[in-house]
Amino acid sequence: MERNLTHIALFAAMIAALGLIPRFEIVPGIGITAQSMGVMLCGTILGARLGGLAAGLFVLVLLLGLPIWAGGVGGVGLLATGKVGFIVGFPFAAFVTGWMMSRLPASIPVSAFFASVIGGMGVLYAFGIPGMAWGLGKTLNEALVISLSFIPGDLVKAVLTAAITAAVAKARPAALLSRG
Amino acid sequence: MLSLTSPIQTPAHGWRAGPKLAALAGLTFALFLPAPGWPALAFALALLAAAAITAGGWGILSPWARLFRPLWPFVVLLIVWHAVTATPLQGAVILARMAAAVGAANLMTMTTRLADLQALVLWALSPLAKLLPAKPLSLAIALMIRFIPVMADRAAQLSTAWSARSPRRPRARLVAPLLVSALDDADHVAEALRARGGAL
């Protein structure tokens, strides 16, 4: 019980820390930070339930008004921007990533890559694109075109997630709760 | 303290969080009601101006204005889009609505203490007590907020250690050690909690 709780809280803090440190920007520029990689890692390391709850806790505290979104912003105001779908989709993306991670039969890095692509990209876009369409007053197709620009960066993040998950599994084999 | 709540006390700091959030929800709903172009633009701009004047009157105009930063990529995108499609009024309405909704919400965030909002959320979630029990949830929120600066410090330390040894920038290489340290911390904190009587 305590262990689950502290894992959820510390991974939520980890997602926040990844957004706070500009040096972790994978591609320099706005929005393409390591934060959504944190969501993928929640799933691949903590598994579906704990990973989803960690991402959910991050979203809850973000909306409560802590400036923990990449670039140091927060609060319910984010829900009125084109980011709304991505914010709401975080817990679901982490959950599906973790669920896939526990079921894919391949080795750890390969499973982590595909789980991140399905959960951290497929599921996240399924929330993010309608959210962007709504927030920016565009049609779904138009929002889809805009989102195409995220794909290269997110694929890089999925590759990194695979490598990092494998490294963590090597350092702390018992900690890979998604495969526990 | 890591929070967007303004340290400058405003009259709104004393108002209750529930009605404030309800008023914000009502305003945002009204803002996004379907309306023809010009009236919609006028209403959104009036709301944005009212929020700016309120922030100015309370002496928190510049921190409030800074919170619009994340909108810039959207602003550029929308301007380009609507210039290309020759629909400037439609673009202006979308932009003004977004700015007004974000401005009003940030005003609420800046003038409401985190503890008050947290209490409101716990109260709103109380019907779901079986699914999301309030006590572990508030403990998790507190632990997370406590550990954000710890993790940010640790990331900064790892990054400094890297810079001392390599001319290249660290980038994603530091995430794995950061995660391992988070996993170790989680075990230590769990033991500490258990030693003090558990999380419940």
**What DSSP designation does B58 have?**
T
pLDDT band, residue A64 (cuts 50/70/90): confident
The CATH number of the domain where A81 resides is what?
1.10.1760.20
- Look at residue B124 in the predicted model and tell me its pLDDT: 80
Which of the residues B72, B148, B188, B194 would you substitute to probe the A interface, choosing the one with the greatest number of A C-beta atoms within 10 Å?
Answer: B148
The per-residue pLDDT for range B15-55, each reduced to its tens digit, is 887 888 888 888 887 887 777 788 888 888 888 888 888 88
First to last CA, chain B: 26
- Look at residue A29 in the predicted model and tell me its pLDDT: 42
- Look at residue A25 in the predicted model and tell me its pLDDT: 47
Contacts of A9 in chain B (CB under 8 A): 139-141, 143-144, 147, 186, 189
Residue in B76, B115, B75 with CA at minimum distance from that of residue B97: B75
Instruction: Tell me which residue has tokens 């993010």.
Output: A128
Contacts of B187 in chain A (CB under 8 A): 3, 6
Average pLDDT over chain A, rounded to an integer:
86
pLDDT band, residue A22 (cuts 50/70/90): low
Q: What are phi and psi of A69, to 5 degrees?
A: -75, 150
Asked whether the beta carbons of A111 and A101 are under 8 A apart, the reply is yes
Q: Number of structural domains, chain A?
A: 1
Average pLDDT of the residues in A37-43: 93
Q: Is A74 on the interface with B (CB under 8 A)?
A: yes
Please report, as a single letter, which amino acid is at residue B44: A
Structural domain boundaries enclosing A67: 2-179
Average pLDDT over chain B, rounded to an integer:
83
The per-residue pLDDT for range B105-149, each reduced to its tens digit, is 888 888 888 788 888 888 887 887 777 777 888 888 888 888 888
Q: Is the pLDDT of residue A116 over 60?
A: yes
Residue in B110, B131, B148, B135 with CA at minimum distance from that of residue B24: B110
Distance CA B64, CA B123 (A): 28
Instruction: Tell me which residue has tokens 């890089």.
Output: A156
